[in-house]
Each structure stands twice: as structure tokens, then as C-alpha cells.
Amino acid sequence: MIFDALAAEAIHDPARLRELYEQPSPLVQRKQVDHLHDAARRFIGCSSLVFVSTADADGNCDATPRGGPPGFVAVLDERTLAVPDATGNRRLDSLHNIAATGKAGLLFVVPGREATLRVNGRACVSADPRLLERLTPVGKPPRTAIVVSADEVYGHCPKAFLRGSAWRPAQWLPADATPSSAEITLSHVGDPSLTLDHIVAAEEESLRLRYE
């Protein structure tokens, strides 16, 4: 495999890795804090999309998007926030990982804005009804919520969104240039009894029920 060949010659020494890059600027080094300051709270209140990164006890990684109306993630105090677990595919990958390791990393996104906010820290899965009753931006209270206590909070450089033209429709690919969600699912399942129409219908039904 290509990976194995490259991994054999990969960089494993952090000091050697640092030699390949300049030091971060003093401003970059100072912008990380350990609490949700006013600007961070306001940004989270505008965010309708957050990416949740976790790993299990063996280091197997996972990243998943969570969405809702702006402010669907609740800031509980200067260190703590809660992400409601809205109806999904019920694999519970993120929740299993958090239960195993007690850690999570979050990347908050505001559509149309290049700036993002990163929050990393201790995490747990809560089913406390007093908390869940507060987390109803997508309808009824969720079954659980991801609760994160911030250890690291900092604004992330917008260069990735600028380079990727994320919010520039004129530079987006046409819809038929990429495989659809249904096409990807069909290729992964590998069941000859299923057709693309079957997958499309199942996805449409799932989305319809999710928004009712």
C-alpha cells in the first residue's frame, strides 16, 4: 500500500517536524484561552453548524457534523456548553467515543463567514432531564446531549474557507459533478438487491421524518 511506504519514511520526531515550519506569531500563541469569553459566546450563538471530533480508547478517530438553528448549542457557563443530540443514524459513534475517553474537539461554523471557533476539552454524555429540557431548538428535548468543559478556546484562521471558496457559489462545482449521498451509500453497502432508487427513497423518508 502507498500509505505503508510513506509511513516507513514519515516524520515521528516533533522537533524534526518543527524544523520544517516557522514559529507561530506571538499573536497566534496568545489567542488561546481556557474559557468562553463574550466574543466566543456570541459566535456560538450565531453558529448553526458544529463539527464534533472524537476518538475511542484505541485511538480510532471520528468527526461528524451537528446542525440546528443558530444558537442550538447552549452555553451553560463560562467553561461549559451543551450540544443536543438530534435524531441521526443511531450509530452513536461520537457518543460511544466520549463515553470511553471523556474528550471532544469542536469546530463552530457560521455559514457565509470564513471565521471559525475551536473548542477542545473534557466531555461527557448527559441524559439529565433538567438539561435536556433546555435544549429544544429542533423540537422536543433530545435523548442526550454532549457536554464539553472548555480547556482550549481559540478562533481558527479563515484561510481554509477562503482557499476552498466555501461560500462563493460562482466557484462551486455543478451538482452532477460529485456522487450523491445515495450513490456513496449504494457503493458502500454492496447489496445487489438494492437500487439507487431504493436508497434515494430511504434518504428522502429519513429526512422527511427528521424535520416533522
Q: Write the pLDDT tens digit of every residue in 151-170.
A: 999 998 889 999 999 999 99
CB neighbour class for 50 (10 Å; exposed up to 12, middle 13-18, buried from 19): buried
CB 132 within 8 A of CB 141: yes
**CB-facing half-sphere around the CA of 210: CA atoms within 13 A:** 14
**Do 186 and 140 share a structural domain?**
no
Mean pLDDT over 125-147 rounds to: 91
Our count of domains for the chain comes to 2
**Do 177 and 159 share a structural domain?**
no
- Domain extent for 178: 173-210
Sheet of strand 116-126, all strands in order from the earlier edge strand to the far edge: 61-67, 49-55, 103-109, 116-126, 145-156, 80-84, 74-75
CB 108 within 8 A of CB 116: yes
Q: Does residue 22 form part of some domain?
A: no
**Do 91 and 36 share a structural domain?**
yes
Q: For 37-92, where are the alpha helices, taking DSSP H only?
A: 38-46
Q: Does residue 37 form part of some domain?
A: yes
pLDDT in tens, 10-64: 999 999 999 999 998 888 888 899 999 999 999 999 999 999 999 999 999 999 9
Mean pLDDT over 164-191 rounds to: 87
Domain CATH for 144: 2.30.110.10
**Do 203 and 102 share a structural domain?**
no
**Do 117 and 75 share a structural domain?**
yes
**Do 92 and 38 share a structural domain?**
yes
pLDDT in tens, 94-119: 999 999 999 999 999 999 999 999 99
Q: Helix, strand, or coil here: 128?
A: coil
Which three cell numbers, joined as nine digits, stand for 183? 450513490
Q: Does residue 13 form part of some domain?
A: no
Q: Does residue 90 form part of some domain?
A: yes
The one-character DSSP state at 137 is T
Q: For 75-195, where are the alpha helices, taking DSSP H only?
A: 93-101, 129-132, 159-163, 181-189
